[in-house]
């Protein structure tokens, strides 16, 4: 689901976002939201005693996980194309195959399941990379920018 208009408070009805839904895209968005929620529950339940890694091993894992993430993101563009595939013709066989492979009444078909699986793998790998980077003491660009802004504010106040 994509926003067709960005809210603009200066215009009439500016605070209303218009969205255009196609049936397949709507099902994909619902599935993506469900996959993110499921991943969040799994991550929340997974807090345990943890594991210990030496720095070199953790660095190597970040590198390898980044390579896997790049490959999965490439695969995601392919699987989403298959998931949103339209029927080649309007004959019963083509329509039946498309429904069985993509979305049939809100139920995922083979291609939709595959696309969902790739999305879950991406969420997992991103979480792994984030946790490894945190364990290595790395911060994201946003954290660095916030820290520098904070230093600037402290310096100006003193």
CA–CA separation, 147 and 53 (whole Å) = 28
Q: What is the mean pLDDT of the chain?
A: 77
Query: Cα-atom radius of gyration of the chain, to the nearest Å?
Result: 22
* Residue 136: band (very low, low, confident or very high) from pLDDT cuts 50, 70, 90: confident
Strand partners, 19: 3
Pick from 1-10, 29-38, 71-80, 138-147: least confident? 1-10
Task: Output the pLDDT for position 33.
Answer: 77
Task: Output the pLDDT for position 26.
Answer: 65
Task: Output the pLDDT for position 3.
Answer: 43
Task: Output the pLDDT for position 19.
Answer: 47
Question: Is 60 exceeded by the pLDDT of residue 2?
Answer: no
Q: Which residue has the tokens 């339940």?
A: 45
Q: Using one digit for the tens of pLDDT, what is the confidence trace for 86-134?
A: 999 999 999 999 999 998 878 888 999 999 999 999 999 999 899 889 8
Q: What is the pTM of this model?
A: 0.59
As separate numbers, helices (DSSP H) first and strands (DSSP E) second, the chain gives 5, 4
């Amino acid at each position: 689901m994509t926003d067709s208009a960005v809210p603009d408070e200066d215009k009439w009805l500016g605070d209303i976002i218009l969205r255009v839904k196609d049936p397949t895209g709507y099902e994909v968005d619902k599935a993506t939201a469900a996959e993110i929620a499921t991943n969040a529950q799994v991550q929340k339940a997974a807090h345990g005693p943890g594991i210990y890694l030496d720095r070199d091993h953790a660095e190597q894992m970040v590198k390898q996980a980044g390579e896997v993430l790049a490959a999965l993101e490439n695969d995601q563009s392919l699987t989403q194309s298959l998931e949103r595939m339209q029927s080649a013709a309007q004959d019963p066989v083509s329509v039946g195959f498309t429904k069985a492979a993509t979305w049939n009444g809100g139920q995922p078909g083979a291609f939709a399941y595959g696309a969902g699986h790739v999305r879950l793998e991406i969420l997992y790998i991103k979480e792994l990379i984030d946790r490894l980077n945190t364990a290595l003491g790395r911060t994201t660009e946003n954290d660095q920018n916030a820290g520098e802004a904070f230093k600037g504010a402290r310096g100006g106040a003193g």
